[in-house]
Amino acid sequence: MVITKGDIVSQAEREVFASRVQTVNPKAAIIHINGLTGQGTYEFGSLIMDDNEEIDTVLERKLRFPLPSAVCSYCLGETRIGSSYQLGNIRKINFEEQ
């Protein structure tokens, strides 16, 4: 299990999250990678390239639940703001006082 985005939380939060991952999947090897500093990438690369290490994949397995189908245009990379650039299932929240 590769855990990223550790630079935006505290060390305690990283450890709690890793502990919860280990609880849910006790067989998982946990590797922390920091995309900003590159910390952990050598260990991850070594694990992948190690011929003696067998990596269990999810190929040909099935998901327990369907993935969310609500995807916004901003999640897909749209950078322009406005209703003419919005795609997908759109519901507006009316903030006007009644």
Q: What is the pTM of this model?
A: 0.52
Task: Indicate the pLDDT class of residue 90, thresholds 50, 70 and 90.
Answer: confident
Query: What number is the average pLDDT over the span 1-27?
Result: 90
Query: How far, CA to CA in Å, does 59 sit from each of 55, 56, 63?
Result: 11, 9, 11
pLDDT tens by residue, 15-64? 999 999 999 989 888 999 988 888 999 998 888 888 776 777 778 888 88
Q: Which residues contact 59 (CB under 8 A, 6 or more apart)?
A: none
Question: What is the number of other CB atoms lying within 10 angstroms of the CB of residue 98?
Answer: 3
So what's the pLDDT on residue 84?
Answer: 85
Please give the Cα distance from 12 to 47 (Å, whole number): 25
**Rounded to 5°, angle at Cα 42 from 40 and 44:** 70
